[in-house]
Amino acid sequence: MYKIYNLLAVFLLTASSLFSQPCNITPRPKHIEYGTGFYYLPQKTNYSTNLKGQSGDWLRKILRQDKIQFRETFGKAPIRFRCTQNDLEAESYSLRIDASGIRIEAPSEKGLFYAWQSFLQLLPPPENGQYRLQFCHIQDAPRFSYRGMHLDVSRNFFDKNFIKKQLDVMAQYKLNRFHWHLTDGSGWRIEIPTYPELTHQSAFRPYPNWAAWYQGGRSFCSPEHPQAQGGYYSQEDINEIVQYATDRCIEIIAEIEMPGHSEAALSVYPHLACPGETTEKPNYCSGKEETFVFLENVLSHCAKLFPSSYIHIGGDEVDKTPWSKCPYCIQRMKEQNIKDPDHLQEYFINRMEGVLKKLGKKAIVWDEAIVGKLATETLVMCWRNASMGVQAVSQGQKVIMTPSEFCYLNSYQNAPPLEPLAMGGYIPLRKAYSFDPCMDMISNADKKKVLGLQACLWTEYIDTDSHAEYMLYPRLVALAECGWTDPERKSWPDFYRRALSIAESLKLSGYHSFDLRQEVEERSSADATRGNIAYNKPVHYKNKYHSKYPAAGDSSLTDGLKGGWHYGDLRWQGFLDTDIDLHIDLGVNTSISSIDTEFMQQKTQYVWLPKEVRFLLSEDGKEFRLLQSYSTNISANEERVIFNSYRWEGQATGRYIKLQALNRGIPGGWLFIDEIVVR
């Protein structure tokens, strides 16, 4: 039975926290000092500013969106905005509330905007037509310059109103980069006038969602098809969204995937693939000049639409096998003196860096692209693990940290059996909040190369607006605080207090946030040492566990530690493409009455329950007798996360306990086993 978090414990911790007075601003400011008085601000009020021209128009537009009714004045006003235009950090600000009113100062419009977001969070409900505001002084600045959110719209499409709605939340919590994953293998979502077939032929699919498309024929259709699902963003849509983001101090970074994840484009222009391409996930051909002509034309159009100085060009998960057989790629490698397909990818990325430089842009790439030398100005987005950040900065690159372990919000945030189907992983709110982009493995000298962090939402199993918001919130807000607030100013109990309120506020504003009150503890982990005669006994393996998931090594299955909701917690032991065959030495012949163990299934991650589990017993370690054999009756096609126990009960005597688990025979399939408990 799942246990609801004990909220009382959280509030007791909050009461004893290092903050003398609760601060309700998120992300938590660098410095806040409270006074003893109150200022009473009318709901209808005046403001003054030294911003002129377009800047003044921008401020008027921003203020019109809020609940206070404003009128600009050139004399003394209760609220004063002043842009100092000095050399201080652009996003820093000062906010002071005292008897003279509200004074907001910043070196830039961005700083003024973030000060205003903090001020709005301070506003209590009005009473008798006015707001009662406690005197305070806030000095604030972000820890990192890059604080991003990524959204994959290729696998499942989300319309422009949904995008704008999420930009509002990003702005409220001071996130400043929206990474828009516009193209991938399963859909092309940006209109390119030079190539109208891209959106006419690969922006729609005759399937209700990505999962059905992937499991079906993976074909595309025209928008006129009676079962057509999907969509794309016109130039007008993009201009509208870019302006909407700009008004909220958010920079949009478009991503055009290359050279892999290119099936959508290649379904329209198959001649851009290597000849005879038969792989499930084809790439652009690196040997054909027409490939680079096509991609340069696409990037040229993107450069006009998106004012950001960066365009993301992918570079991840490239199957280079076709390049090693393609006559065009082989000829390219010969001409360029390239020794292997890995370095052919280096050539590809370097060439696209050159295209972007000619367009006045710079590249961002996923961390797989650091197999070769990158342009100095190219940013590396590190997603596989934190060590990729170490590798990138050691090569002189600046990085954005988005390790999937902390930042992939398509992972489960609660007990997986209770949640809608997700891609995999387990990132509860507390884990997201614990992330530090400048983790210990990055040296102090290299930490300046870490520009910030990014939350990512991949949408393989997310096909509705409500599900996307459910996965984003409030975890996105936790990562926003990680990007803004210095580690020594962070406090989990204090943030959890605020997160409960934020989740509720988002719901009242029409967002489908996860209900934190329904969050449950880590998977039940009853004491596996109590009465366990196998505790700390040696385990001998016939087939070794995989080096990627060793857990605690040879001692793992008898160390008394049960596994959690996900196999990545270093407590589950993983076996790839092999059966499990091991035995435990109890030391002496012992009377036993039960043997327990557990396996998990998570089809989306190629993790399956065993086909069969056998328990055997021996007195001499040579001759084993079968105690019991269990066949798994749960289908390998079951996609939900499953934890299945296997238990023998009876009376027997022996010294050596053997466990055998037969894999399903699915290539690339994993078995993950938990603690073995013997009583």
Q: CB count, 10 Å around CB of 450?
A: 22
CATH of the domain at 92: 3.30.379.10
Can you tell me whether residue 310 is helix, strand or coil?
strand
Mean pLDDT along residues 75-92: 89
Q: Are 272 and 290 in contact (CB under 8 A)?
A: yes
Q: Are 361 and 310 in contact (CB under 8 A)?
A: yes
Q: Are 602 and 424 in contact (CB under 8 A)?
A: yes
Q: Are 188 and 264 in contact (CB under 8 A)?
A: yes
Domain presence at residue 671: yes
Query: Would you list the DSSP string of 44-100?
Result: EEEEEES--HHHHHHHHHHHHTSSSEEEE-SS--SEEEEE---SS-TT-EEEEEETT
Indicate whether 575 pLDDT > 90. Answer: yes
Domain presence at residue 633: yes
Indicate whether 490 pLDDT > 70. Answer: yes
pLDDT of 525: 63
Indicate whether 627 pLDDT > 60. Answer: yes
> Distance of CA 196 to CAs 98, 204, 232, 388, Å?
58, 13, 11, 38
Indicate whether 267 pLDDT > 60. Answer: yes
In the DSSP assignment, the letter for residue 628 is E
Q: What's the distance, Cα to Cα, between the start and end of the chain in Å?
A: 23
Indicate whether 274 pLDDT > 90. Answer: yes
Domain presence at residue 81: yes
pLDDT of 12: 35
Q: Judging by beta carbons within 10 Å of its beta carbon (0-12, 13-18, 19+), is residue 520 exposed, middle or buried? A: middle
- 675 versus 85: which is more confidently predicted? 675
Q: Residue 661, Cα to own-chain centre: how many angstroms?
A: 34
- 528 versus 106: which is more confidently predicted? 106
Cis preceding-peptide flag for 22 (omega within 30 of 0)? no
Mean pLDDT along residues 557-570: 92
Q: CB count, 10 Å around CB of 333?
A: 21
Domain boundary at 116, 140, 164, which? Answer: 140
Indicate whether 576 pLDDT > 50. Answer: yes
Rounded Cα distance between 571 and 550, Å, is: 8
Rounded Cα distance between 664 and 644, Å, is: 15
pLDDT confidence bin for 230, thresholds 50/70/90: very high
pLDDT of 65: 75
Rounded Cα distance between 401 and 446, Å, is: 13
Domain presence at residue 568: yes
List the structure tokens of 181: 């994953």
Which helix (H) or strand (E) covers residue 387, if one does?
helix 386-394
Give the rounded percent of residues in the chain with a pLDDT score beyond 70. Answer: 96
Mean pLDDT along residues 575-579: 98
Q: Are 646 and 596 in contact (CB under 8 A)?
A: yes
Span 282-325, pLDDT tens digits: 999 999 999 999 999 999 999 999 999 999 999 999 999 999 99
Residue linked to tokens 């086909």:
611
Q: Are 35 and 134 in contact (CB under 8 A)?
A: yes
Range of the domain at 597: 539-678
Indicate whether 5 pLDDT > 60. Answer: no
Number of domains in the chain: 2
Indicate whether 10 pLDDT > 60. Answer: no
Average pLDDT of the chain is: 93
Domain presence at residue 607: yes
pLDDT confidence bin for 478, thresholds 50/70/90: very high
pLDDT confidence bin for 407, thresholds 50/70/90: very high
Q: Are 483 and 114 in contact (CB under 8 A)?
A: no
The one-letter code for the residue type at 83 is C
Domain presence at residue 408: no
Interhelix angle for 235-247 vs 289-305, to 10°? Answer: 50
Domain boundary at 103, 123, 140, which? Answer: 140
pLDDT of 526: 59
Rounded Cα distance between 393 and 382, Å, is: 11
Q: Are 341 and 320 in contact (CB under 8 A)?
A: yes
In the DSSP assignment, the letter for residue 592 is E
pLDDT of 75: 77
Span 134-155, pLDDT tens digits: 999 999 999 999 999 999 999 9
List the structure tokens of 534: 């196998």
Rounded Cα distance between 404 and 414, Å, is: 16
Domain boundary at 80, 115, 140, which? Answer: 140
Indicate whether 16 pLDDT > 70. Answer: no
Mean pLDDT along residues 34-53: 94
Indicate whether 2 pLDDT > 70. Answer: no
pLDDT confidence bin for 524, thresholds 50/70/90: low
Q: CB count, 10 Å around CB of 86?
A: 9
Comparing CA positions, the residue from 672, 559, 542, 536 lying closest to residue 610 is: 672
Q: Are 676 and 575 in contact (CB under 8 A)?
A: no
Indicate whether 9 pLDDT > 60. Answer: no
Rounded Cα distance between 70 and 72, Å, is: 7
Mean pLDDT along residues 215-219: 91
The one-letter code for the residue type at 329 is C
H helix runs in 489-548, sequence order: 492-508
Rounded Cα distance between 201 and 256, Å, is: 17
Mean pLDDT along residues 230-259: 98
Indicate whether 6 pLDDT > 90. Answer: no
CATH of the domain at 665: 2.60.120.1190
The one-letter code for the residue type at 512 is H
Span 173-198, pLDDT tens digits: 999 999 999 999 999 999 999 999 99
H helix runs in 98-234, sequence order: 109-122, 160-172, 197-202, 210-215
Q: 121 CB contacts (<8 Å, ≥6 apart)?
A: 24, 25, 26, 172
Q: Are 175 and 166 in contact (CB under 8 A)?
A: no
> Distance of CA 583 to CAs 18, 586, 655, Å?
51, 10, 10
Rounded Cα distance between 524 and 564, Å, is: 8
SS3 of 332-379: HHHHCCCCCHHHHHHHHHHHHHHHHHHCCCEEEEEHHHHHCCCCCCCE
Q: Rounded to a whole number, what is the largest CA-CA distance in the chain?
A: 96
Q: Are 42 and 129 in contact (CB under 8 A)?
A: yes
